[in-house]
Structure 1
Protein backbone atom coordinates (compact mmCIF):
# COMPACT_ATOMS: atom_id res chain seq x y z
CA UNK A 1 0.00 0.00 0.00
CA UNK A 2 1.07 3.60 -0.58
CA UNK A 3 1.60 6.14 2.20
CA UNK A 4 -1.61 7.87 1.10
CA UNK A 5 -3.54 4.63 1.49
CA UNK A 6 -2.06 4.09 4.95
CA UNK A 7 -2.98 7.64 6.00
CA UNK A 8 -6.51 7.32 4.67
CA UNK A 9 -7.23 4.00 6.32
CA UNK A 10 -5.59 4.95 9.60
CA UNK A 11 -7.61 8.16 9.94
CA UNK A 12 -10.81 6.47 8.80
CA UNK A 13 -10.36 3.60 11.27
CA UNK A 14 -9.59 5.97 14.17
CA UNK A 15 -12.60 8.16 13.34
CA UNK A 16 -14.80 5.07 13.44
CA UNK A 17 -13.67 4.29 16.98
CA UNK A 18 -14.84 7.59 18.53
CA UNK A 19 -18.52 8.07 19.32
CA UNK A 20 -20.18 11.51 19.50
CA UNK A 21 -20.81 10.87 23.19
CA UNK A 22 -17.09 10.28 23.82
CA UNK A 23 -16.29 13.48 21.94
CA UNK A 24 -18.90 15.46 23.88
CA UNK A 25 -21.01 16.18 20.79
CA UNK A 26 -24.83 16.28 20.79
CA UNK A 27 -26.62 13.76 18.59
CA UNK A 28 -30.24 14.85 19.05
CA UNK A 29 -31.31 11.26 18.50
CA UNK A 30 -30.35 11.31 14.82
CA UNK A 31 -29.86 8.04 12.98
CA UNK A 32 -26.23 7.90 11.92
CA UNK A 33 -25.10 6.19 8.76
CA UNK A 34 -21.47 6.06 9.84
CA UNK A 35 -19.71 4.27 12.68
CA UNK A 36 -18.16 6.80 14.99
CA UNK A 37 -17.71 10.44 14.06
CA UNK A 38 -18.56 12.13 10.79
CA UNK A 39 -15.80 13.97 8.92
CA UNK A 40 -17.33 17.34 9.66
CA UNK A 41 -17.44 16.50 13.38
CA UNK A 42 -13.73 15.65 13.40
CA UNK A 43 -13.07 18.92 11.56
CA UNK A 44 -15.06 20.84 14.16
CA UNK A 45 -13.18 19.21 17.04
CA UNK A 46 -9.82 19.78 15.36
CA UNK A 47 -10.58 23.41 14.51
CA UNK A 48 -10.19 23.03 10.74
CA UNK A 49 -12.62 23.26 7.86
CA UNK A 50 -14.52 20.18 6.72
CA UNK A 51 -12.94 20.47 3.25
CA UNK A 52 -9.46 20.60 4.76
CA UNK A 53 -10.04 17.56 6.96
CA UNK A 54 -11.48 15.66 3.99
CA UNK A 55 -8.23 16.38 2.13
CA UNK A 56 -6.23 15.06 5.07
CA UNK A 57 -8.30 11.90 5.28
CA UNK A 58 -7.69 11.27 1.60
CA UNK A 59 -4.04 10.84 2.49
CA UNK A 60 -2.65 14.33 1.92
CA UNK A 61 -0.58 14.91 5.06
CA UNK A 62 2.43 16.43 3.32
CA UNK A 63 3.26 19.82 4.79
CA UNK A 64 0.68 19.65 7.59
CA UNK A 65 1.84 21.60 10.65
CA UNK A 66 2.50 20.00 14.03
CA UNK A 67 -0.24 22.19 15.49
CA UNK A 68 -2.82 20.71 13.13
CA UNK A 69 -1.55 17.18 13.76
CA UNK A 70 -1.81 17.75 17.52
CA UNK A 71 -5.37 19.05 17.13
CA UNK A 72 -6.24 16.05 14.98
CA UNK A 73 -4.76 13.66 17.54
CA UNK A 74 -6.88 15.23 20.29
CA UNK A 75 -10.03 15.17 18.17
CA UNK A 76 -9.56 11.48 17.40
CA UNK A 77 -8.57 10.71 21.00
CA UNK A 78 -5.34 9.05 19.91
CA UNK A 79 -3.13 7.43 22.53
CA UNK A 80 0.63 8.00 22.61
CA UNK A 81 1.42 5.24 20.09
CA UNK A 82 -1.32 6.37 17.71
CA UNK A 83 -0.24 10.00 17.94
CA UNK A 84 3.37 9.07 17.19
CA UNK A 85 2.15 6.97 14.25
CA UNK A 86 0.20 9.92 12.86
CA UNK A 87 3.34 12.08 13.00
CA UNK A 88 5.36 9.28 11.38
CA UNK A 89 2.86 9.07 8.54
CA UNK A 90 3.03 12.84 8.09
CA UNK A 91 6.83 12.69 7.84
CA UNK A 92 6.63 9.79 5.38
CA UNK A 93 4.15 11.79 3.28
CA UNK A 94 6.88 14.33 2.49
CA UNK A 95 8.93 11.61 0.78
CA UNK A 96 12.03 9.64 1.82
CA UNK A 97 14.78 11.55 3.58
CA UNK A 98 18.47 10.75 3.64
CA UNK A 99 19.15 7.62 5.69
CA UNK A 100 15.49 6.53 5.72
CA UNK A 101 16.14 3.42 3.61
CA UNK A 102 18.33 1.66 6.16
CA UNK A 103 17.42 -1.96 6.77
CA UNK A 104 16.80 -3.44 10.21
CA UNK A 105 19.95 -4.07 12.26
CA UNK A 106 21.22 -7.62 11.93
CA UNK A 107 24.26 -7.71 14.25
CA UNK A 108 24.67 -7.48 18.02
CA UNK A 109 27.67 -5.79 19.61
CA UNK A 110 29.91 -7.95 21.86
CA UNK A 111 29.09 -5.68 24.79
CA UNK A 112 25.37 -6.32 24.37
CA UNK A 113 26.03 -10.07 24.21
CA UNK A 114 27.89 -9.82 27.52
CA UNK A 115 24.91 -8.03 29.08
CA UNK A 116 22.61 -10.72 27.74
CA UNK A 117 24.66 -13.54 29.25
CA UNK A 118 24.94 -11.74 32.60
CA UNK A 119 21.17 -11.65 33.10
CA UNK A 120 19.64 -14.26 35.41
CA UNK A 121 16.31 -14.19 33.57
CA UNK A 122 15.40 -15.43 30.08
CA UNK A 123 16.42 -12.68 27.66
CA UNK A 124 16.93 -12.15 23.96
CA UNK A 125 17.81 -9.33 21.59
CA UNK A 126 15.63 -8.49 18.62
CA UNK A 127 15.54 -5.80 15.98
CA UNK A 128 12.61 -3.69 14.78
CA UNK A 129 11.70 -6.36 12.23
CA UNK A 130 11.17 -8.82 15.15
CA UNK A 131 14.22 -10.90 14.24
CA UNK A 132 15.66 -12.55 17.36
CA UNK A 133 19.39 -12.10 16.85
CA UNK A 134 20.78 -13.50 20.11
CA UNK A 135 19.52 -15.11 23.31
CA UNK A 136 20.92 -16.37 26.61
CA UNK A 137 20.85 -20.00 27.72
CA UNK A 138 17.70 -19.61 29.79
CA UNK A 139 15.83 -18.09 26.84
CA UNK A 140 16.85 -21.05 24.67
CA UNK A 141 15.54 -23.39 27.37
CA UNK A 142 12.30 -21.45 27.80
CA UNK A 143 11.66 -21.31 24.07
CA UNK A 144 11.76 -25.08 24.08
CA UNK A 145 13.35 -25.92 20.71
CA UNK A 146 11.80 -22.92 18.97
CA UNK A 147 15.05 -20.99 19.29
CA UNK A 148 18.08 -22.69 17.72
CA UNK A 149 21.60 -21.33 18.13
CA UNK A 150 22.52 -22.61 14.70
CA UNK A 151 19.58 -20.97 12.95
CA UNK A 152 19.40 -17.45 14.31
CA UNK A 153 17.98 -15.02 13.46
CA UNK A 154 14.47 -16.32 14.04
CA UNK A 155 11.68 -13.97 13.02
CA UNK A 156 9.06 -13.87 15.76
CA UNK A 157 6.27 -12.63 13.49
CA UNK A 158 6.84 -15.53 11.11
CA UNK A 159 6.84 -17.95 14.02
CA UNK A 160 3.58 -16.51 15.34
CA UNK A 161 1.68 -16.70 12.06
CA UNK A 162 3.36 -19.46 10.07
CA UNK A 163 4.38 -22.07 12.65
CA UNK A 164 1.69 -24.41 13.99
CA UNK A 165 3.50 -24.63 17.33
CA UNK A 166 2.91 -20.95 18.12
CA UNK A 167 -0.59 -21.30 19.67
CA UNK A 168 0.69 -24.21 21.77
CA UNK A 169 3.62 -22.19 23.10
CA UNK A 170 1.90 -18.80 23.51
CA UNK A 171 -1.22 -19.74 25.45
CA UNK A 172 -2.73 -16.28 24.88
CA UNK A 173 -1.90 -16.43 21.18
CA UNK A 174 -4.67 -14.05 20.08
CA UNK A 175 -3.40 -11.24 22.30
CA UNK A 176 0.23 -11.88 21.38
CA UNK A 177 -0.70 -11.85 17.69
CA UNK A 178 -2.61 -8.57 18.07
CA UNK A 179 0.31 -6.92 19.86
CA UNK A 180 2.86 -8.21 17.38
CA UNK A 181 1.03 -6.82 14.36
CA UNK A 182 0.36 -3.51 16.13
CA UNK A 183 4.09 -3.17 16.87
CA UNK A 184 4.99 -4.01 13.27
CA UNK A 185 2.44 -1.48 11.99
CA UNK A 186 4.01 1.21 14.18
CA UNK A 187 7.48 0.31 12.91
CA UNK A 188 6.24 0.44 9.32
CA UNK A 189 5.13 4.02 9.98
CA UNK A 190 8.58 4.91 11.35
CA UNK A 191 10.48 3.12 8.57
CA UNK A 192 8.24 3.02 5.48
CA UNK A 193 11.23 2.58 3.16
CA UNK A 194 12.81 -0.36 4.99
CA UNK A 195 12.67 -3.03 2.27
CA UNK A 196 13.33 -5.90 4.68
CA UNK A 197 10.30 -4.81 6.71
CA UNK A 198 8.01 -4.34 3.71
CA UNK A 199 9.11 -7.73 2.38
CA UNK A 200 8.23 -9.33 5.72
CA UNK A 201 4.80 -7.70 5.81
CA UNK A 202 4.16 -8.72 2.21
CA UNK A 203 5.08 -12.34 2.89
CA UNK A 204 2.94 -12.57 6.01
CA UNK A 205 -0.03 -10.88 4.34
CA UNK A 206 0.23 -13.37 1.48
CA UNK A 207 0.61 -16.48 3.61
CA UNK A 208 -1.54 -15.77 6.68
CA UNK A 209 -5.19 -14.76 6.84
CA UNK A 210 -4.78 -14.10 10.57
CA UNK A 211 -1.99 -11.61 9.90
CA UNK A 212 -3.77 -9.97 6.96
CA UNK A 213 -6.94 -9.41 9.02
CA UNK A 214 -4.99 -7.79 11.85
CA UNK A 215 -2.85 -5.68 9.53
CA UNK A 216 -5.99 -4.20 7.96
CA UNK A 217 -7.11 -2.87 11.36
CA UNK A 218 -4.29 -0.28 11.40
CA UNK A 219 -3.84 -0.66 15.15
CA UNK A 220 -0.50 0.49 16.57
CA UNK A 221 1.03 -0.15 19.96
CA UNK A 222 4.24 0.36 21.91
CA UNK A 223 5.81 -2.92 22.95
CA UNK A 224 6.97 -2.13 26.49
CA UNK A 225 5.63 -4.67 28.96
CA UNK A 226 3.10 -7.49 28.90
CA UNK A 227 2.10 -10.56 30.90
CA UNK A 228 2.48 -13.77 28.91
CA UNK A 229 1.46 -17.34 29.57
CA UNK A 230 3.85 -19.82 27.97
CA UNK A 231 3.91 -23.60 27.72
CA UNK A 232 7.22 -25.39 28.05
CA UNK A 233 7.32 -29.16 27.51
CA UNK A 234 9.69 -29.63 30.46
CA UNK A 235 8.02 -27.50 33.15
CA UNK A 236 4.49 -26.98 31.81
CA UNK A 237 2.63 -23.66 31.88
CA UNK A 238 4.09 -20.56 33.48
CA UNK A 239 3.25 -16.88 33.53
CA UNK A 240 5.99 -14.35 32.96
CA UNK A 241 6.19 -10.61 32.44
CA UNK A 242 7.99 -9.42 29.35
CA UNK A 243 9.90 -6.16 29.62
CA UNK A 244 11.35 -4.33 26.61
CA UNK A 245 14.50 -2.25 27.00
CA UNK A 246 15.49 -0.24 23.95
CA UNK A 247 19.11 0.11 22.88
CA UNK A 248 18.44 3.32 21.01
CA UNK A 249 21.90 3.72 19.49
CA UNK A 250 21.86 0.14 18.23
CA UNK A 251 18.32 0.01 16.86
CA UNK A 252 17.76 -3.09 18.99
CA UNK A 253 15.60 -4.15 21.94
CA UNK A 254 16.42 -6.48 24.83
CA UNK A 255 13.40 -8.51 25.94
CA UNK A 256 13.55 -10.03 29.42
CA UNK A 257 11.07 -12.35 31.12
CA UNK A 258 10.59 -11.99 34.85
CA UNK A 259 8.34 -13.65 37.43
CA UNK A 260 6.78 -12.56 40.71
CA UNK A 261 9.27 -13.29 43.52
CA UNK A 262 8.23 -16.32 45.56
CA UNK A 263 5.53 -17.34 43.09
CA UNK A 264 5.16 -20.85 41.62
CA UNK A 265 6.30 -19.39 38.30
CA UNK A 266 9.51 -18.15 39.95
CA UNK A 267 10.19 -21.64 41.31
CA UNK A 268 9.46 -23.13 37.88
CA UNK A 269 11.85 -20.70 36.21
CA UNK A 270 14.52 -21.47 38.82
CA UNK A 271 14.22 -25.16 38.02
CA UNK A 272 14.40 -24.43 34.29
CA UNK A 273 17.51 -22.31 34.87
CA UNK A 274 19.17 -25.20 36.70
CA UNK A 275 18.25 -27.57 33.89
CA UNK A 276 19.55 -25.12 31.26
CA UNK A 277 22.90 -24.86 33.06
CA UNK A 278 23.29 -28.64 33.03
CA UNK A 279 22.28 -28.96 29.38
CA UNK A 280 23.84 -25.84 27.89
CA UNK A 281 25.83 -27.89 25.38
CA UNK A 282 22.98 -30.18 24.31
CA UNK A 283 22.15 -30.05 20.57
CA UNK A 284 19.10 -27.82 19.95
CA UNK A 285 15.99 -28.76 18.06
CA UNK A 286 15.40 -27.19 14.67
CA UNK A 287 12.68 -24.59 14.14
CA UNK A 288 10.71 -25.16 10.94
CA UNK A 289 8.05 -22.96 9.37
Structure 2
Protein backbone atom coordinates (compact mmCIF):
# COMPACT_ATOMS: atom_id res chain seq x y z
CA UNK A 1 0.00 0.00 0.00
CA UNK A 2 1.36 3.42 -0.94
CA UNK A 3 1.93 6.23 1.52
CA UNK A 4 -1.12 8.44 2.08
CA UNK A 5 -0.89 11.92 0.63
CA UNK A 6 -4.13 13.49 1.83
CA UNK A 7 -2.69 17.02 1.76
CA UNK A 8 -1.62 16.69 -1.88
CA UNK A 9 -4.93 15.11 -2.83
CA UNK A 10 -6.82 18.00 -1.25
CA UNK A 11 -4.68 20.61 -3.01
CA UNK A 12 -5.16 18.94 -6.39
CA UNK A 13 -8.91 18.63 -5.90
CA UNK A 14 -9.35 22.27 -4.95
CA UNK A 15 -7.03 23.43 -7.75
CA UNK A 16 -9.17 21.51 -10.27
CA UNK A 17 -12.26 23.44 -9.16
CA UNK A 18 -10.84 26.84 -10.09
CA UNK A 19 -10.34 28.30 -13.53
CA UNK A 20 -8.21 31.33 -14.44
CA UNK A 21 -11.28 33.59 -14.59
CA UNK A 22 -12.21 32.59 -11.02
CA UNK A 23 -9.01 34.13 -9.67
CA UNK A 24 -8.68 37.11 -12.01
CA UNK A 25 -6.16 35.57 -14.42
CA UNK A 26 -6.21 35.73 -18.21
CA UNK A 27 -6.15 32.16 -19.56
CA UNK A 28 -2.79 31.31 -21.06
CA UNK A 29 -2.75 30.22 -24.70
CA UNK A 30 -2.73 26.59 -25.66
CA UNK A 31 -4.82 23.56 -24.86
CA UNK A 32 -5.38 22.95 -21.16
CA UNK A 33 -4.97 19.20 -20.72
CA UNK A 34 -6.39 19.16 -17.19
CA UNK A 35 -9.31 20.93 -15.55
CA UNK A 36 -8.70 23.88 -13.29
CA UNK A 37 -5.67 26.01 -12.60
CA UNK A 38 -2.23 24.92 -13.65
CA UNK A 39 0.31 24.31 -10.92
CA UNK A 40 2.37 27.34 -11.91
CA UNK A 41 -0.72 29.54 -11.83
CA UNK A 42 -1.67 28.48 -8.31
CA UNK A 43 1.92 28.73 -7.10
CA UNK A 44 2.10 32.30 -8.39
CA UNK A 45 -1.15 33.24 -6.68
CA UNK A 46 0.03 31.74 -3.39
CA UNK A 47 3.46 33.38 -3.53
CA UNK A 48 5.34 30.09 -3.83
CA UNK A 49 7.86 28.70 -6.26
CA UNK A 50 6.46 26.15 -8.69
CA UNK A 51 8.97 23.55 -7.53
CA UNK A 52 7.94 23.92 -3.89
CA UNK A 53 4.25 23.69 -4.73
CA UNK A 54 4.81 20.57 -6.86
CA UNK A 55 6.61 18.94 -3.92
CA UNK A 56 3.62 19.74 -1.72
CA UNK A 57 1.17 18.12 -4.12
CA UNK A 58 3.38 15.08 -4.58
CA UNK A 59 3.91 14.62 -0.84
CA UNK A 60 7.67 15.23 -1.05
CA UNK A 61 7.29 18.34 1.14
CA UNK A 62 5.29 17.64 4.29
CA UNK A 63 5.99 20.55 6.62
CA UNK A 64 4.58 23.78 5.10
CA UNK A 65 4.70 26.81 7.38
CA UNK A 66 1.68 28.74 8.56
CA UNK A 67 2.51 31.51 6.09
CA UNK A 68 2.55 29.03 3.20
CA UNK A 69 -0.79 27.59 4.27
CA UNK A 70 -2.31 31.06 4.51
CA UNK A 71 -1.17 31.77 0.97
CA UNK A 72 -2.64 28.51 -0.31
CA UNK A 73 -5.93 29.06 1.51
CA UNK A 74 -6.25 32.51 -0.06
CA UNK A 75 -5.24 31.35 -3.55
CA UNK A 76 -7.67 28.40 -3.44
CA UNK A 77 -10.51 30.64 -2.19
CA UNK A 78 -11.10 28.31 0.78
CA UNK A 79 -13.94 29.02 3.18
CA UNK A 80 -13.52 28.76 6.97
CA UNK A 81 -14.19 25.02 7.18
CA UNK A 82 -11.97 24.22 4.18
CA UNK A 83 -9.18 26.36 5.63
CA UNK A 84 -9.37 24.48 8.95
CA UNK A 85 -9.27 21.22 7.02
CA UNK A 86 -6.15 22.35 5.13
CA UNK A 87 -4.38 23.08 8.42
CA UNK A 88 -5.47 19.75 9.87
CA UNK A 89 -4.10 17.88 6.86
CA UNK A 90 -0.82 19.81 7.02
CA UNK A 91 -0.42 19.10 10.73
CA UNK A 92 -1.11 15.42 10.14
CA UNK A 93 1.39 15.26 7.26
CA UNK A 94 4.05 16.90 9.44
CA UNK A 95 3.27 14.67 12.42
CA UNK A 96 2.65 17.63 14.69
CA UNK A 97 -0.16 18.57 16.99
CA UNK A 98 -2.66 21.16 15.80
CA UNK A 99 -1.57 24.60 16.89
CA UNK A 100 -2.80 28.09 16.39
CA UNK A 101 -0.96 30.13 13.79
CA UNK A 102 0.58 33.20 15.46
CA UNK A 103 -1.15 36.44 14.57
CA UNK A 104 0.72 38.90 12.40
CA UNK A 105 2.24 41.70 14.50
CA UNK A 106 -0.08 44.67 14.80
CA UNK A 107 0.90 47.99 13.22
CA UNK A 108 0.02 51.02 15.31
CA UNK A 109 -2.70 53.32 13.97
CA UNK A 110 -0.41 56.36 13.90
CA UNK A 111 2.09 54.41 11.77
CA UNK A 112 -0.68 53.47 9.33
CA UNK A 113 -1.66 57.14 9.22
CA UNK A 114 1.94 58.04 8.37
CA UNK A 115 1.81 55.72 5.35
CA UNK A 116 -1.17 57.70 4.07
CA UNK A 117 0.35 61.08 4.95
CA UNK A 118 3.45 60.53 2.78
CA UNK A 119 1.42 59.65 -0.32
CA UNK A 120 2.04 59.71 -3.23
CA UNK A 121 5.44 58.42 -2.08
CA UNK A 122 5.54 54.60 -1.90
CA UNK A 123 5.85 53.41 1.70
CA UNK A 124 5.39 50.23 3.67
CA UNK A 125 6.00 48.65 7.07
CA UNK A 126 7.98 45.43 7.33
CA UNK A 127 8.18 42.90 10.14
CA UNK A 128 11.28 41.12 11.42
CA UNK A 129 11.55 38.75 8.46
CA UNK A 130 10.39 41.37 5.91
CA UNK A 131 6.70 40.49 5.91
CA UNK A 132 4.71 43.43 4.52
CA UNK A 133 2.56 44.32 7.53
CA UNK A 134 1.08 47.53 6.12
CA UNK A 135 1.47 49.40 2.84
CA UNK A 136 0.01 52.44 1.11
CA UNK A 137 -1.47 52.04 -2.41
CA UNK A 138 1.63 53.40 -4.14
CA UNK A 139 3.83 51.06 -2.11
CA UNK A 140 1.84 48.05 -3.24
CA UNK A 141 1.78 49.19 -6.87
CA UNK A 142 5.55 49.77 -6.63
CA UNK A 143 6.32 46.01 -6.66
CA UNK A 144 4.96 44.66 -9.98
CA UNK A 145 2.75 41.66 -9.37
CA UNK A 146 2.87 41.65 -5.58
CA UNK A 147 -0.75 42.82 -5.42
CA UNK A 148 -1.77 39.37 -6.72
CA UNK A 149 -0.22 37.70 -3.68
CA UNK A 150 -2.51 37.27 -0.66
CA UNK A 151 -1.71 39.79 2.08
CA UNK A 152 -0.28 37.20 4.53
CA UNK A 153 2.15 36.03 1.83
CA UNK A 154 3.57 39.44 0.91
CA UNK A 155 7.22 39.55 1.86
CA UNK A 156 9.94 41.58 0.16
CA UNK A 157 12.61 38.86 0.46
CA UNK A 158 10.26 36.21 -0.92
CA UNK A 159 9.40 38.64 -3.73
CA UNK A 160 13.09 39.08 -4.58
CA UNK A 161 13.72 35.36 -4.95
CA UNK A 162 10.39 33.86 -5.96
CA UNK A 163 8.50 36.38 -8.08
CA UNK A 164 9.21 35.92 -11.79
CA UNK A 165 9.31 39.69 -12.39
CA UNK A 166 11.77 40.56 -9.63
CA UNK A 167 14.97 40.15 -11.64
CA UNK A 168 13.70 42.63 -14.20
CA UNK A 169 12.33 45.05 -11.61
CA UNK A 170 15.57 45.44 -9.62
CA UNK A 171 18.22 47.00 -11.85
CA UNK A 172 20.94 45.38 -9.71
CA UNK A 173 19.18 42.23 -8.60
CA UNK A 174 22.35 40.49 -7.40
CA UNK A 175 23.18 43.33 -5.03
CA UNK A 176 19.61 43.57 -3.74
CA UNK A 177 19.45 39.81 -3.16
CA UNK A 178 22.80 39.68 -1.37
CA UNK A 179 21.80 42.61 0.83
CA UNK A 180 18.45 41.05 1.76
CA UNK A 181 20.01 37.73 2.80
CA UNK A 182 22.77 39.50 4.73
CA UNK A 183 20.13 41.45 6.67
CA UNK A 184 18.34 38.21 7.51
CA UNK A 185 21.62 36.57 8.54
CA UNK A 186 22.24 39.50 10.92
CA UNK A 187 18.82 38.99 12.49
CA UNK A 188 19.48 35.26 12.81
CA UNK A 189 22.81 35.91 14.56
CA UNK A 190 21.11 38.14 17.14
CA UNK A 191 18.64 35.39 18.06
CA UNK A 192 19.62 32.00 16.57
CA UNK A 193 16.67 30.25 18.22
CA UNK A 194 13.95 32.64 16.98
CA UNK A 195 11.20 30.44 15.54
CA UNK A 196 9.97 32.99 13.00
CA UNK A 197 13.42 33.50 11.50
CA UNK A 198 14.24 29.80 11.45
CA UNK A 199 10.94 28.92 9.79
CA UNK A 200 11.38 31.59 7.13
CA UNK A 201 14.99 30.61 6.38
CA UNK A 202 13.97 26.95 6.06
CA UNK A 203 11.19 27.82 3.65
CA UNK A 204 13.36 30.09 1.48
CA UNK A 205 16.24 27.60 1.42
CA UNK A 206 13.85 24.92 0.15
CA UNK A 207 12.22 27.14 -2.45
CA UNK A 208 15.14 29.13 -3.84
CA UNK A 209 18.59 27.72 -4.69
CA UNK A 210 19.80 31.32 -5.13
CA UNK A 211 18.75 32.13 -1.56
CA UNK A 212 20.36 28.93 -0.27
CA UNK A 213 23.67 29.81 -1.95
CA UNK A 214 23.69 33.33 -0.50
CA UNK A 215 22.70 32.05 2.95
CA UNK A 216 25.81 29.87 3.02
CA UNK A 217 28.03 32.93 2.51
CA UNK A 218 27.27 34.13 6.07
CA UNK A 219 27.40 37.79 5.05
CA UNK A 220 25.87 40.20 7.58
CA UNK A 221 24.48 43.69 7.01
CA UNK A 222 21.79 45.97 8.36
CA UNK A 223 19.30 47.63 6.01
CA UNK A 224 20.13 51.32 5.86
CA UNK A 225 18.98 54.29 3.85
CA UNK A 226 20.37 54.52 0.34
CA UNK A 227 19.63 54.76 -3.38
CA UNK A 228 18.42 52.09 -5.78
CA UNK A 229 17.29 51.86 -9.41
CA UNK A 230 14.12 50.05 -10.49
CA UNK A 231 12.53 49.19 -13.84
CA UNK A 232 8.78 49.41 -13.37
CA UNK A 233 6.89 47.99 -16.37
CA UNK A 234 4.35 50.85 -16.39
CA UNK A 235 5.84 53.77 -14.47
CA UNK A 236 9.25 53.40 -16.11
CA UNK A 237 12.82 53.38 -14.84
CA UNK A 238 13.44 55.33 -11.64
CA UNK A 239 16.38 55.85 -9.32
CA UNK A 240 15.01 56.53 -5.86
CA UNK A 241 16.43 57.33 -2.47
CA UNK A 242 14.89 55.42 0.40
CA UNK A 243 14.75 56.01 4.12
CA UNK A 244 14.48 53.15 6.59
CA UNK A 245 13.01 54.21 9.92
CA UNK A 246 13.12 51.62 12.69
CA UNK A 247 10.07 51.50 14.91
CA UNK A 248 10.35 50.53 18.56
CA UNK A 249 7.80 47.75 18.18
CA UNK A 250 8.57 44.05 17.52
CA UNK A 251 11.37 44.79 15.06
CA UNK A 252 9.13 46.72 12.67
CA UNK A 253 10.59 49.23 10.23
CA UNK A 254 9.10 51.63 7.73
CA UNK A 255 10.59 52.30 4.28
CA UNK A 256 9.75 55.41 2.24
CA UNK A 257 10.94 56.03 -1.34
CA UNK A 258 11.36 59.50 -2.79
CA UNK A 259 12.95 61.50 -5.61
CA UNK A 260 13.91 65.11 -6.21
CA UNK A 261 10.81 67.09 -7.31
CA UNK A 262 10.95 67.99 -10.99
CA UNK A 263 13.30 65.14 -11.86
CA UNK A 264 12.54 62.30 -14.27
CA UNK A 265 12.56 59.95 -11.29
CA UNK A 266 9.92 62.06 -9.56
CA UNK A 267 7.86 62.02 -12.74
CA UNK A 268 8.01 58.22 -12.65
CA UNK A 269 6.69 58.27 -9.08
CA UNK A 270 3.81 60.48 -10.23
CA UNK A 271 3.03 57.97 -12.99
CA UNK A 272 3.01 55.25 -10.35
CA UNK A 273 0.50 57.24 -8.32
CA UNK A 274 -1.59 57.79 -11.43
CA UNK A 275 -1.84 54.02 -11.87
CA UNK A 276 -3.42 53.89 -8.43
CA UNK A 277 -5.80 56.79 -9.08
CA UNK A 278 -7.01 55.37 -12.37
CA UNK A 279 -7.98 52.15 -10.65
CA UNK A 280 -5.42 49.82 -12.18
CA UNK A 281 -4.58 48.56 -8.69
CA UNK A 282 -7.01 47.14 -6.19
CA UNK A 283 -7.12 47.55 -2.44
CA UNK A 284 -4.08 46.40 -0.50
CA UNK A 285 -5.98 44.54 2.24
CA UNK A 286 -3.09 45.27 4.60
TM-score (norm 2): 0.58
Aligned to 1:228: 228
Provide the secondary structure at the position in 2 that maps to 1:248.
coil
Query: In the alignment, which residue of structure 2 is the partner of 1:163?
Result: 163
Question: Could you say which structure has the larger radius of gyration?
Answer: 1
Compute the displacement of 1:254 (Å): 0.2
Say whether 1:257 aligns with 2:257: yes
Rounded to whole Å, the distance in 2 between the matches of 1:276 and 1:167 is: 23
Name the CA distance, whole Å, in 2 between partners of 1:123 and 1:210.
27
Partner of 2:182: 182
**More deviation, 172-181/268-277:** 268-277
Aligned pairs (5 A) from 1:44-83: none
The runs of 4+ residues in structure 1 deviating greater than 4 Å are: none
Shift of 1:243: 1.5
Partner residue in 2 for 1:56 = none
CA contact (8 A) 1:145 1:284 kept: no
Query: 5 Å matches for 1:17-166?
Result: 106-120=105-119, 121-148=121-148, 151-166=151-166
Q: Secondary structure at the match of 2:175?
A: helix
Query: Does structure 2 conserve the Cα–Cα contact (< 8 Å) formed by 1:140 and 1:148?
Result: no
Contact 1:227/1:241 (8 A) holds in 2: yes
Partner of 2:207: 207
CA RMSD of aligned residues (A): 2.5
State the 1:245 CA deviation. 0.3
Q: Distance in 2 between matches of 1:199 and 1:276?
A: 34
Instruction: Name the CA shift for 1:112/1:150 in 2 (closer, same or farther; >3 Å).
Output: same
What secondary structure is seen at the aligned counterpart in 1 of 2:147? coil
Residues paired across the two proteins, number = 183
Structure 2 unaligned residues grouped into runs of 5+: 1-101
Contact 2:144 2:165 in 1 (8 A): no
Shift of 1:177: 0.2
Using the alignment, how far apart are the partners of 1:112 and 1:284 within structure 2? 18
Residue 206 (structure 1) shift:
2.3
TM-score if structure 1 supplies the norm length?
Answer: 0.58
Partners of 1:253 and 1:214 lie apart in 2 by 23
**Gap runs ≥5 in structure 1:** 1-102
Taking the aligned partners of 1:108 and 1:265, their CA distance within structure 2 comes to 30
C-alpha change, 1:122 and 1:179, in structure 2 (3 Å) is: same
More divergent stretch after superposition (230-239 vs 174-183): 230-239
Measured in 2, the distance between the counterparts of 1:129 and 1:171 equals: 23
Contact 2:104 2:133 in 1 (8 A): no
Q: Does the aligned pair in 2 maintain the 1:160–1:177 contact within 8 Å?
A: yes
Displacement of 1:127: 0.8
C-alpha separation in 1, matches of 2:190 and 2:272: 38
